[in-house]
Amino acid sequence: MKIKHVDHIGINVENLETATIFFTDLGFSVMGEAKMQGKLLDEVTGLSDARTELVMLQAPDSQLCLEVIKYHHPVDPEGIRPRGANALGMQHISFEVEGLDGIVKTLLAKGHELVGSVQNYKDVWKLCYIRGPEGIIIELAERIKK
């Protein structure tokens, strides 16, 4: 048995439209949208009477898909919990980009914030963390030299 590749990454959100816009602003394209409910969803998720709405997004290089999901039922009783970069569990997704400064400027103008600051790592990478909607953290990394 072996893992062949990452099929997709799922991100649960309260506001599906806002999260979709955030990722399409980064260059992802909408592959499809769906509503799901029923026995299969309940059995896979271990939830009862689950009802979801989702958008599948594809990265510009077609190497990665994101599944952005809104659970209409059951809802997470704790709501949105933006956490620090050091919180346990999966906390960020990293994207290699071109034109990091321009992307950061655009995202800041749209109300998103830097978690820390843009940094240069050994003159090989320029990188930063950005907090998107609902506390989602993404890392942007631009290769300075190869």
Q: What are phi and psi of 19, to 5 degrees?
A: -65, -40
Domain count, the chain: 2
Can you give the pLDDT at residue 81?
Answer: 84
Express as a percent the part of the chain with pLDDT over 90: 81
Q: Has residue 137 been placed in a domain? A: yes
CATH of the domain at 35: 3.10.180.10
If you average pLDDT over every residue of the chain, what do you get?
92
Express as a percent the part of the chain with pLDDT over 70: 99
**Token pair recorded at residue 68:** 């952005």
Residues spanned by the domain of 21: 9-73
Q: Do 65 and 111 fall within a single domain?
A: no
Q: What is the mean pLDDT of residues 1-8?
A: 84
Residue 38 falls in which region: left (phi positive, over 0), alpha (psi -120 to 50) or beta: left
Non-local CB neighbours of 27 within 8 Å, separated by 6+ positions: 59, 60
**Cα dist. 84→1, 79, 136 in Å?**
35, 16, 10
Can you give the pLDDT at residue 80?
Answer: 85
Residues 87-143: pLDDT tens digits?
Answer: 888 889 999 999 999 999 999 999 999 999 999 999 999 999 999 999 899 999 999
Q: Do 13 and 67 fall within a single domain?
A: yes
